[in-house]
Structure 1
Amino acid sequence: MKTIYNLSQEIKDFIEENDQEFEDSLLAEAVNVSSKISDILEKGNIDLLRNARRLIFYVMDQKEEELKSFAEIEGIAWAEHALTLELKLEWVQAIRRTLWQFVSTLDETKIITQDRNDFYALEKKINDKIDQFLNGFFISYSKYKDAMFLKQREIVEHLSVPIIPVSEHVSVLPLIGSIDSFRIEIIEEKVLNDIGDSRIQTLVIDLSGIAMMEKDVIDHFEKILAGVSMMGCKAILTGLRPDLVRKMVHAGIRFEKNAETKGTLQETLKKYL
């Protein structure tokens, strides 16, 4: 029985000796990807053919750490340049099929596997490592996409929290739309930082445009008002809608301790303009 190492080396040598044939077979297997080879190289500096050989050699040599690192780098590169998972999956499966075609051809000519145990060990080794690469790639791709999404959402949410100065020490914060747990954290950060940076003495928070605010968000909002008060700033709430007031009353939440409530924003601003 040949060792796995010897089998791997023979397969690698065979692929290198028939490099052009291997490349042609791979491109024939990956119909959708093959037409985009040049575009992907130009767009993301990703050399699919070179990386295919790299993947195969890592798999055949059982280089665990290198395979893990390669999967992570590839995942980030594909996510960063908005390349689809569909194309990646087709490409890796084409690499798998082409590799097995060459193993089969080599085995027919040189009989590299003497018995079934040789073949089963080789099959497990190759497929397990390719699956490991795919799993690592998908995790890396998803993490990068999620991080980018959160970053973009944070930027958008910051823009949706406009603190508008109306005089030297008075500013207005009009809140519009639904406020979830993510957005309320952005509001807290923006409000407390702006009070500290701009020395705001009175902050008028208009809630007339709020579509929905759940109880846990209202609890968080109450804590923000406490923070505003601790920083020496007076909070004035305007535009409280009946449905929001009912929800607050039934939940036992009161804002009187840390904020003053007024009717409309227009009426309140007359005092400061």
Structure 2
Amino acid sequence: MDSSLDIYKLMKFIEENNEDFEDSLLNEASNVKDKIEEILMVGNIDLINNARKLVRYIIEGEEQELQSFAKQEGIAWATHEIPLTFKLEWVQAIRRTLWKFLQGYNEITNHVINEDFFSVEKQINNQVDRFLNVFFITYSQYKDSLIMAQRELVENLSVPIIPITPTICILPLIGAVDLYRTNILEEKVLIEIGKLRIQTLIMDLSGIMEMETEVIDHLMKIIDGTSLMGCTTVITGLRAEVASNMIRLGMRLNEKAQTLGTLQQALNKYLIN
């Protein structure tokens, strides 16, 4: 902060008028004030104390601490998916409240800021803007990393290859299977066959009601790929609707692929016999 402004006296002035500062802040943030308790419960984010901390960093010019705090806040808000509109309104309320108190401080100190007003204005607003920039960049980056992690988790869950012996695995497919999922399926299956040295893959389709033509065709190519890698694919639970569609389209399974009516039959054949 500018040398003409005694930051310690200013901080003392704000601390001595803490209740007025909080009331002014809440009045400036009309949409956020009713969400303060909810945000505290959801994300353990104390908006009032954090506002005081931000004001101190701004006034005392603690650049490194301000940026670290902005990153911490960005991660917290992204993790708990708190609307960004609340954060933007809250920080702007802090800005307006800080200026209100600077005006009050200036009046009781015989207008000490008047000569260097523009310098003080530039420093304070730059600090607030810097906080917002670092916050939003961190929020966006962390949000993207969460989305990618969730996507990878969904992809892994959508292709649950379950080892039941050192050479035999089960792949139960459940729910909708579209081209995007079959692309994931192809990549994961071929990688796991090579990594686990799977010799027999039991692919259970009993949880799939229907498949589009393109999906069926892609599934047949995946089975061809497993055969090229020396793995026998056993299809179980193929529903009548899917089988009829394959017949109508003239599709045939790989010659080395086997079919059984149920997963239980496959387990009995490959585990018991």
- Same-fold call, TM cutoff 0.5: yes
Deviation for aligned residue 1:52: 0.6
In structure 2, distance between residues paired with 1:212 and 1:125: 64
2:120 counterpart residue number? 122
In structure 2, distance between residues paired with 1:8 and 1:265: 84
1:25 counterpart residue number? 24
Deviation for aligned residue 1:92: 0.7
Structure-2 change in CA distance of 1:160 and 1:14 (3 Å) = same
In structure 2, distance between residues paired with 1:228 and 1:92: 60
Structure-2 change in CA distance of 1:134 and 1:236 (3 Å) = same
Q: Which residue identity is paired with 1:59?
A: I
Identity %: 40
Q: Which residue identity is paired with 1:91?
A: W
Deviation for aligned residue 1:155: 2.2
2:54 counterpart residue number? 55
1:73 aligns with 2:72: yes
Structure-2 change in CA distance of 1:212 and 1:29 (3 Å) = farther
Deviation for aligned residue 1:177: 3.3
Structure-2 change in CA distance of 1:22 and 1:264 (3 Å) = same
Q: Which residue identity is paired with 1:160?
A: S
In structure 2, distance between residues paired with 1:150 and 1:87: 25
Q: Any idea what the Cα deviations from partners look like across 1:131-189, whole Å, max 9, x if unmatched?
A: 111121122222222222222222222222244789974756759533349x7356423
In structure 1, distance between residues paired with 2:149 and 2:96: 38
2:86 counterpart residue number? 87
Q: Which residue identity is paired with 1:177?
A: V
5 Å-filtered alignment, 1:121-200, equals 121-163=119-161, 169=168, 177-180=177-180, 184-185=183-184, 187-193=186-192, 196-197=195-196, 199-200=198-199
In structure 1, distance between residues paired with 2:88 and 2:132: 8
TM-score, length-scaled by structure 1? 0.69
In structure 1, distance between residues paired with 2:171 and 2:140: 39
In structure 2, distance between residues paired with 1:53 and 1:4: 20
Deviation for aligned residue 1:91: 0.8
Deviation for aligned residue 1:6: 4.2
Structure-2 change in CA distance of 1:263 and 1:211 (3 Å) = farther
Q: Which residue identity is paired with 2:158?
A: S
Q: Which residue identity is paired with 1:113?
A: I
TM-score, length-scaled by structure 2? 0.69
In structure 1, distance between residues paired with 2:60 and 2:224: 61
In structure 2, distance between residues paired with 1:14 and 1:73: 28
In structure 2, distance between residues paired with 1:213 and 1:68: 51
Deviation for aligned residue 1:30: 1.3
Are the aligned partners of 1:15 and 1:22 in contact in 2 as well (CA < 8 Å)?
yes
Q: Any idea what the Cα deviations from partners look like across 1:52-74, whole Å, max 9, x if unmatched?
A: 11111111222222111101111
Deviation for aligned residue 1:18: 1.6
Are the aligned partners of 1:192 and 1:227 in contact in 2 as well (CA < 8 Å)?
no
Are the aligned partners of 2:168 and 2:199 in contact in 1 as well (CA < 8 Å)?
yes
State the superposition RMSD in angstroms.
4.5
Are the aligned partners of 1:229 and 1:235 in contact in 2 as well (CA < 8 Å)?
no
Q: Any idea what the Cα deviations from partners look like across 1:9-52, whole Å, max 9, x if unmatched?
A: 04323212322211111112112222232332233222211111
1:255 counterpart residue number? none
Q: Any idea what the Cα deviations from partners look like across 1:231-259, whole Å, max 9, x if unmatched?
A: x42569998999xx9xxxxxxxxxxxxx7
1:256 counterpart residue number? none
Are the aligned partners of 2:226 and 2:232 in contact in 1 as well (CA < 8 Å)?
no
5 Å-filtered alignment, 1:92-107, equals 92-107=91-106
Q: Which residue identity is paired with 1:19?
A: N
Structure-2 change in CA distance of 1:202 and 1:159 (3 Å) = closer
SS across alignment from 1:31: coil
With 18-27 and 142-151 compared, the bigger mean Cα shift is at 142-151
In structure 1, distance between residues paired with 2:12 and 2:211: 67
In structure 2, distance between residues paired with 1:119 and 1:12: 18
